[in-house]
Structure 1
Amino acid sequence: MEKEVAVLYKWASVLALITIFYNIAEGGVSVGFGLGDETVSLFGFGLDSFVEVISGVGIWHMVRRQRKNPAAVPDIFERQALRITGFAFYLLTFGLAGTAIVNIFTHHHPETTFWGIIIAAVSIVTMWILIHYKVKIGKALRSPAILADANCTKTCVYLSFALLFASIGYELTGIGWFDSIGAVVIAGFSWKEGRESFLKAKGIGCKCQTNCP
């Protein structure tokens, strides 16, 4: 039984690492194409992915801690990672919202949002796969924290759908505010994620979680 539990925690750690490295790759590609094509929604999506890396490191550390002692409370490293994540999300919120508003009034048009469609589609598939296996392992380990992480990963899916909608909308119509509205929606999710990060750092239950560790 202990061997089975050890294997499950090993896979939980692998999933956390996959999430981290995927977000690094996704962030780099999104920021690169976002800058090149002057697509604020894709650029913001990429920055959000980079912030998720900080959160992912905290989750990976949490899994390692729980492997040794499932009943242990979050340590200083995890709480600090959550605070940094929350602050970064708040900065991203104001930056994206401000840029989007300026773009709306200046009638800015991105060169193309094709890559936003591709990246969003890949992200949706990848995140749903990660959610599936995180839930499976979380249930097997009876770990509310891992299940909560899986549930919170759904926010990444919502962000991807927002990017997909904005990107398709612009490609079909050529109306520039589709890109800006997509950025505003992403900013809204970033604010929500920032708030929940600070709540988790304080040990307060979050909307995306059934039971914060």
Structure 2
Amino acid sequence: MNTDNKIKLYKVAFWLAVFTIVYNTVEGLVSTSLGYEDESLSLFGFGSDSFIEVISGIGIAHMVLRIQKNANSTRDSFERTALRITGVAFYSLVAGLTVTSIYNIWTGHKPETTLWGVVISIISIAVMWALVYAKEKVGRKLNSDAILADAGCTRVCIYMSVILLVASAIYELTGFPYIDSIGTLGIAYFAFKEGQECFEKAKSDKLCSSKGCC
């Protein structure tokens, strides 16, 4: 591949990272606002996770610029710091969501509606799926394990969106009182796994940890 094509592909990879940051910011604002208003913990937790993904996305954008200059370079202090901050944020989110979920189950708390959870999760699945496809396409063309690993991380967001969709849809259809909290615990599980990944990556230069994600 000639140099011009590589430059163009790295630009695409960078702007995909920027789009991920902007999208997660908007998604976080909308989801936390509607989740709070409708008393839907799963939607609020999903939105909180989106804000943490913004921090991660900044690290990814920095990574793309780094490997563009030197494909064989290793993680620098900025990326390691971003990973540690992201890891702490994920663990804090897990603690908050877990405690609140258990409390809601104990008290029998129910959201007013989870309709917005259905809508937002469907949009998120579509957007994240398109991002995974685009990142994998660029990663393969550049033969970049780093960009392909980032695509793998974006795929985790799809799993969280599916959990939100299932929990929100079940509540809307059945009114089952505990499903919103159960869905929240599912989101907390993936947030915990992502927190683990962040700390493992911060300690090494490996793109993938023993858990298999980037």
- TM-score by structure 1 length? 0.97
Question: Could you say which residue in structure 1 is the equivalent of 2:152?
Answer: 151
What CA distance in whole angstroms lies between the structure 2 residues aligned with 1:55 and 1:31? 19
Matched, 1:140 2:148: no
What CA distance in whole angstroms lies between the structure 1 residues aligned with 2:189 and 2:99? 12
Question: Could you say which residue in structure 2 is the equivalent of 1:67?
Answer: 68
Matched, 1:93 2:132: no
Identity percentage of aligned residues? 55
Q: Report the Cα offset of residue 193 of structure 1.
A: 0.3
Q: Report the Cα offset of residue 107 of structure 1.
A: 0.4
Q: Which moved more, 1:107-116 or 1:196-205?
A: 196-205
Structure 2 unaligned regions, length at least 5 = none
Q: Deviations over 1:109-129 (max 9, x none)?
A: 100000000000000000000
Question: Could you say which residue in structure 2 is the equivalent of 1:80?
Answer: 81
Superposed counterparts of 1:128-207, under 5 Å: 128-203=129-204, 204=206, 205-206=208-209, 207=211
Question: What amino acid is the match of 2:85?
Answer: I
Runs of 4+ in 1 over 2 A off after TM superposition: none
What CA distance in whole angstroms lies between the structure 1 residues aligned with 2:147 and 2:73? 14
The SS at the match of 1:72 is: coil
Q: Deviations over 1:162-208 (max 9, x none)?
A: 00011001001111201000000000000000000101111154233
What CA distance in whole angstroms lies between the structure 1 residues aligned with 2:147 and 2:177? 40
Superposed counterparts of 1:3-82, under 5 Å: 3-82=4-83
What CA distance in whole angstroms lies between the structure 1 residues aligned with 2:95 and 2:122? 26
Question: Could you say which residue in structure 2 is the equivalent of 1:208?
Answer: 212
Q: Report the Cα offset of residue 65 of structure 1.
A: 0.8
What CA distance in whole angstroms lies between the structure 2 residues aligned with 1:14 and 1:85? 21
Question: What amino acid is the match of 1:90?
Answer: Y
What CA distance in whole angstroms lies between the structure 1 residues aligned with 2:11 and 2:4? 10
Question: What amino acid is the match of 2:67?
Answer: Q
Question: Contact 1:89–1:193 (CA<8 Å) still a contact in 2?
Answer: yes
The SS at the match of 1:109 is: coil
Question: Contact 1:148–1:208 (CA<8 Å) still a contact in 2?
Answer: no
Q: Deviations over 1:13-43 (max 9, x none)?
A: 0100000000000000000000000000000
Question: Contact 1:152–1:208 (CA<8 Å) still a contact in 2?
Answer: no
Question: What amino acid is the match of 2:148?
Answer: L
What CA distance in whole angstroms lies between the structure 1 residues aligned with 2:5 and 2:177? 53
Q: Report the Cα offset of residue 62 of structure 1.
A: 0.3
What CA distance in whole angstroms lies between the structure 1 residues aligned with 2:178 and 2:147? 38
